Amino acid sequence: MRRKVVVTGIGMVTCLGTGVETNWEAIKAGRSGIGPISLFDTSLFVTRIAGEVRGEFDPAGRVPAKELRRMDRYQQFGLVAAGEAMTDSGFEGPPENPFRYGVVVGSGMGGLFTIETGVLQYHAKGPKALHPLLIPKAVINLCPGMLSIKYGFKGPNFGIVNACTSGTSAIGEGYWLVREGRADMVLAGGAEAVVTPLSVAAFNALRALSTRNGDPTAASRPFDKDRDGFVIAEGAGMLVLESEEHAARRGAHAYAEIAGYGATGDAYHFVMPDPEAEGAYHCMKMAVEDAEIAPSCIEYINAHGTSTDLNDKMETLAIRRLFGSHAYRMSISSTKSMTGHLIGAAGAVEAIYSLMALKTGVIPPTINLDNPDPACDLDYTPNKAATRQMEYALSNSFAFGGQNASLVFRRIT
Amino acid sequence: MDDLETRVIDLIAEVLVDVNKENIQMSSKIVEDLGAESLDIYDMIALLEDEFGLEIADEDVEKIQTVQDVADFIKQHQKAS
């Protein structure tokens, strides 16, 4: 049985702010959220900039202050975004049959802050110094676990660890659960808090990050020939996925339909993408076929567009290969130019931007695209948002490790 | 209530998410009256150890029942050290 799946609630926290509305305003205006890192002393670091969530990120008080200390930062982001999404969905619960309600959340690194702090305490004071909550704060499955407790969802519940693809994988797997009739509602998304000393230093060691410290808002420049790596960022995105029937029964408003999901593995290299774009091409192809549409129906792609030399070339090649001459007529953009790269939450926030693009007919820009790389010759919506009424949009995520995932969304008219 | 007792109550209130500070008395039993579960107790012990620079052994934890017991334990061990 194949059921239609709609998105009825969305919520997010990024360096552009808390809430979909705040984010969408910033995205339409082409504003960058990248700035100097304030979470730790970066004086010895090669990269000193990031897409940091600044200051108070829970203005609506969605997570009780007393509960915050029991959670890692990534879990806090996840709960705040999920709170917004659940409120937005209008679902008041409690679920009639809780076993039909699931939670799937992706994260690349989970409670990295907690682990780093624990390691320092261990070395300073020995094994007895470790905090009893280190494990629940550190592990990735506790974000979906906490959300199940909060909302009483007792159906399928799991975390997904897929580096930069985690958020898209979580939505795709959640979509399949609802589509195949295993659940009626799934809260799905990604949460990440990787602006930590270890993470920034290690990505620097891998030579993956931009070092444009003097000009942070210009650092993330996907498809531009002067790009020099991605800008690491943090936050969360959460979506309420629901069977069309369940949504209709309670009179819920839907943003869009999830129409297709593709997932492949490069089987090529542990950090580099396949330069022939074999995995990415087949991933998009699978998502489009899953949606039972022709590739030419896709009019907007929210690209993975990391601002690394290899990804942006490879992704362009994959798009050309699948869409042929239509590749030059479609709108593409990388919202990472404004948010930076939220790793395991990236796919979730980008799914939300894609839904907003479909719903409002506004294509987000790719900012800092001043001198396009000759190898990147498509319409990436440079620097200014565009308008376009469209029926289908696609969102891509590609991970270190070769995991690829693509989602196809269909506008509801 | 002396300063140390106030600090102990503050710390316990920080750990026990569902309890209002006003409802914590020195005579309150931590498990029976305040509803602490085992993980709350270990969380609390970790905070107390940090705050007062002590090490509290698991066999001592078992003897602590009330908020007053916590304050007394800290007083004794601070004097001893």
User: Positive or negative CA dihedral for A310, A313, A317, A320?
Assistant: positive
Window 18-47 of B: residues touching A by CB (8 A cutoff) are 39, 42-43, 45-46
**Cβ-Cβ contacts under 8 Å, A66 against chain B:** 14, 17
Q: What's B16's domain CATH number?
A: 1.10.1200.10
**Cβ-Cβ contacts under 8 Å, A69 against chain B:** 14
Q: Is the minimum CB–CB distance between B57 and chain A shorter than 8 Å?
A: no
pLDDT, tens digit only, all 413 positions of chain A: 799 999 999 999 999 999 999 999 999 999 999 999 999 999 999 999 999 999 889 988 888 877 788 899 999 999 999 999 999 999 998 898 999 999 999 999 999 999 999 999 999 999 988 989 999 999 999 999 999 999 999 999 999 999 999 999 999 999 999 999 999 999 999 999 999 999 999 999 999 999 999 999 999 999 999 999 999 999 999 999 999 999 999 999 999 999 999 999 999 998 899 999 999 999 999 999 999 999 999 999 999 999 999 999 999 999 999 999 999 999 999 999 999 999 999 999 999 999 999 999 999 999 999 999 999 999 999 999 999 999 999 999 999 999 999 999 999 98
Write down the ipTM of this complex: 0.79
What is the three-class DSSP state of A368? coil
Range of the domain at B24: 3-80
Measured in angstroms, the CA of A64 and the nearest CA of chain B are apart by 9
Those residues whose C-beta lies under 8 Å from the C-beta of residue A117, and which sit 6 or more positions away, are none
- CATH number, span A5-249: 3.40.47.10
* Domain map (residue ranges) of chain A: 5-249, 261-411
Measured in angstroms, the CA of A193 and the nearest CA of chain B are apart by 23
Here the tokens at position A62 are 């969605």
Per the structure, the count of domains in chain B is 1
Identify the residue among A66, A117, A122, A128 best suited for mutation to test binding to B, counting B beta carbons within 10 A and taking the highest: A66
**Cβ-Cβ contacts under 8 Å, A133 against chain B:** 39, 43
Interface of A to B at Cβ within 8 Å reads: 64, 66-67, 69-70, 128, 131-133
Q: Does A261-411 match A5-249 at the fold level? A: yes
Measured in angstroms, the CA of B78 and the nearest CA of chain A are apart by 19
* Annotation: CATH topology of A261-411: Peroxisomal Thiolase; Chain A, domain 1 (3.40.47)
